[in-house]
Structures are given as C-alpha cells and as structure tokens.
Amino acid sequence: MDIRRQLALAYLRLGERSNCISGHSSGSCIFPIRDNGVYTDPTASMNSIRVYKQLLQLDSGDLESRWLLNIAYMTIGQYPAMVPPAWLIPGLGADTSSAQIRAFTDVARELKINNYRSQAGGAIVDDFNNDGYLDIVTSSWDLSESMHFFRNNADGSFTDVSKESGLSEIKGGLMITQADYNNDGFTDIFVSRGAWRGRWGISQKPCCGTTATVVTQT
C-alpha cells in the first residue's frame, strides 16, 4: 500500500481531533458536514487534500481516495464548489431518502454532559435510580478518567452526580452494559476492560491493574 494513503488518512484524523473533539459543536462529526460542523482549523484537511490529489493523479480509479477527497473538502466548507470536476462525487450533501425524518440535534454541550473525553469508553442510558426518567452513564478506557453518572432532572437537564454515586472512584471501563445482575429490582452496571484479550474477547486476567467490575445499587 502506498504510504501516502496512510498519511492522508492521518491528516483527516488530525483534523477531527483538532476540530470535532477540541472545538466540539452541535454539528461536529455529523454527516453531511455543514454549518457549524465545518472545521474552524482547516490545516489538517488541506494537507489531506494535497495528498489525496497526488494519489488520484497516479490512479484516477482509486475510489477510496476519491471519496475521502470529497469528504476532506466538505470538512472545510468547500464541497462541491472547489472539488476538481474529474474527482467530484455529486450529491453527497443531499437527502435522497424517500422518508422524511426530522434531524436530531446534538445538545450534549448545552447540557454539559460532554465535558469529558471518555476515550474509547462506553455510554448507556437507563433509569438507574428508578424515578421513571432515563439517566446517562459513561466510561473511559483512559485510567486517568473516571466513570460519570448524569442524573436526569426530569426537566430536560442533567446533574453530574458521579461523586455521590461512587462511580467517580471507578477507572478505565472500555465497555459498559446494564442489567439487574443481583435480581434486586435495580439496574446495575457491568464494566469490562481489555476486551480484545482472552479467548472469548473479554480479559481473563487483570490488565493494567484492573479487572472487570460489576457495580450494584444499594
């Protein structure tokens, strides 16, 4: 594989980190990329465009590079106008579905529930305190970041009660899932770590000083 493929993709990923993560908005990481989802820092995308052009000049039938070139232009608000005609894929920003569904709006920032990186972690939504309203729990693979519990205030807002719930003491959850593990009528949380290890995909041995955890309500 041409190393330039990896370089172009790395530039695209850098653009995501510099914009979708560090400068997150309600339009970030949502396709088609437009409005406030367009990158404020175009540097990485411009570098990606430069490399994808080189690849397409060598092989105009490289469909992967053609697709990602169009996406790169979209990230900086220059699709379709600035895409070279020979490599333009028209209609990427159009809704071609016969079913008209109202778009969802990302309101996590306004609700102050995305103030944490939660790198490679999990997220579950359930009624964890049995009050009839859905709460949110997140985890992170990063051992320096704890789990977070956002309690539904029944008015469209959430309160971070991670410390009060005890979840702030639990680190490094790659994946989480909910169920009533001890049959007491309350929803519990299973936190798994090292999911790529072990015969069945779940760590059979402690990894990095941690093992699987089941958090039960009391």
What mean pLDDT value characterizes the chain?
Answer: 84
Q: Closest by alpha carbon to 131, among 109, 158, 113, 164?
A: 158
- The pLDDT tens digits of the residues spanning 126-168 come to 998 889 999 999 998 887 888 999 999 999 999 999 999 888 8
CB 143 within 8 A of CB 171: yes
- Please give the Cα distance from 176 to 124 (Å, whole number): 7
Q: Which distant-in-sequence residues (6+ apart) come within 8 Å of 176 by Cβ?
A: 121, 122, 123, 124, 137, 139, 147, 189, 190, 191, 192
CB 92 within 8 A of CB 79: yes
User: Is residue 214 very low, low, confident or very high in pLDDT (cuts 50, 70, 90)?
Assistant: low
- The pLDDT tens digits of the residues spanning 54-90 come to 999 999 999 999 999 999 999 999 999 999 999 999 9
Q: What is the length of the chain?
A: 218
Is pLDDT above 90 for 2? no
pLDDT of the residue at 200: 44
| Cα torsion angle, 15, 17, 23, 24, sign | positive
pLDDT of the residue at 106: 81
pLDDT of the residue at 215: 63
User: Is residue 118 very low, low, confident or very high in pLDDT (cuts 50, 70, 90)?
Assistant: confident
User: Is residue 10 very low, low, confident or very high in pLDDT (cuts 50, 70, 90)?
Assistant: very high
